[in-house]
């Protein structure tokens, strides 16, 4: 990946085009990790809605252990988002170029940890499955927070409910029969927004398909190319900060 493109993609200075392109990449990664996580622990971990509903169900049924498991997953997602906020704000106060790259680098490391844990799941299933679920939820919370921060809450990548809702609204506008009536404006669909929403949905679905196939064929080794992709994207701004720091210390 060209160095300038990496700076453009996750650098401190944000543009609409950069936000959309990194959103597509992260939606693909989220879809792949979500699919791989399901194959590993039989649970989707990219959104909190199902976890909260599951927690409520198990609470009513008196299944205390499952309530605790779901609660731990929700808290892990929350902690991932909190961790991202701390890292971004730390870098922002110091005017670091890696403001958004640092959380992505951490995500890459944690994806590799998921791959290592997965290799032991068959031997220590009872012990490692709850920890694996918590790790995946932390990763998704971290990623969802970083893309929320860099896009000013315009783009989401780990869950598609809002994306599909917004896409449906725009499609409804597109199909609506328009006719100006008095002072009433003509309803127009935002075709550019439709392309972005459709792209995010397609990237998530594509990531899910590739992730499921990759985990089925390669096992947990498929985490390596995902982690490498995030590392390549994030490493340039981190290197820029390292170089800048070395220049200040040498002056």
Quote the domain boundaries for residue 157.
3-246
Q: Is 158 exposed, middle or buried (0-12, 13-18, 19+ CB in 10 A)?
A: buried
Whether 194 is in a domain gets the answer yes
Whether 41 is in a domain gets the answer yes
Whether 251 is in a domain gets the answer no
Bridge-partner residues for 184, per DSSP? 181
Whether 164 is in a domain gets the answer yes
pTM: 0.87
Q: What is the CATH number of the domain that holds 152?
A: 1.20.1250
Whether 201 is in a domain gets the answer yes
Calculate what percentage of the chain has a pLDDT beyond 90.
32
Number of domains in the chain: 1
Cα atoms in the 13 Å half-sphere on the side-chain side of 185: 4
Whether 160 is in a domain gets the answer yes
Whether 131 is in a domain gets the answer yes
What is the DSSP annotation of 80-133? HHHHHHHHHHHHHHTT-TTTTHHHHHHHHHHHHHHHHHHHHHTTSHHHHHHHHH
Whether 161 is in a domain gets the answer yes
Tens digit of each residue's pLDDT (9 = 90 or more) over 172-213 = 888 876 665 655 666 777 888 899 999 999 999 999 999 999
CB environment 172-208: b (16+ within 10 A), e (fewer): eeeeeeeeeeeeeeeeebeeeebebbebbbebbeebb
If you average pLDDT over residues 214-242, what whole number do you get?
88
Tens digit of each residue's pLDDT (9 = 90 or more) over 15-40 = 889 999 999 999 999 999 988 888 87
Q: Which residue has the higher pLDDT, 184 or 217?
A: 217
């Amino acid at each position: 990946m060209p160095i300038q493109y990496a700076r453009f993609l996750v650098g401190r200075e944000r543009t609409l085009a950069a936000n959309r392109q990194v959103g597509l990449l992260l939606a693909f990664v989220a879809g792949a990790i979500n699919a791989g996580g399901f194959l590993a622990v039989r649970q989707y971990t990219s959104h909190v809605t199902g976890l909260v509903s599951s927690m409520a169900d198990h609470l009513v049924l008196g299944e205390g252990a499952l309530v605790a498991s779901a609660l731990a997953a929700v808290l892990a997602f929350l902690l991932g988002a909190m961790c991202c906020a701390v890292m971004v704000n730390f870098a922002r106060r110091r005017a670091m170029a890696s403001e958004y790259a640092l959380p992505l680098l951490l995500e890459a490391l944690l994806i590799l940890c998921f791959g290592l844990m997965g290799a032991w799941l068959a031997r220590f299933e009872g012990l490692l499955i709850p920890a694996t679920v918590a790790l995946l939820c932390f990763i998704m919370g971290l990623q969802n927070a970083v893309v929320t921060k860099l896009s000013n809450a315009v783009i989401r990548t780990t869950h598609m409910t809002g994306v599909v809702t917004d896409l449906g609204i725009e499609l409804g506008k597109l199909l609506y029969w328009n006719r100006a009536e008095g002072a009433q404006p003509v309803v127009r669909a935002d075709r550019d927004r439709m392309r972005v929403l459709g792209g995010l949905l397609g990237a998530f679905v594509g990531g899910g398909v590739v992730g499921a196939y990759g985990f089925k064929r390669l096992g947990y080794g498929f985490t390596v190319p995902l982690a490498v992709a995030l590392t390549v994207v994030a490493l340039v701004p981190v290197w820029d900060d390292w170089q800048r720091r070395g220049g200040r210390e040498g002056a």
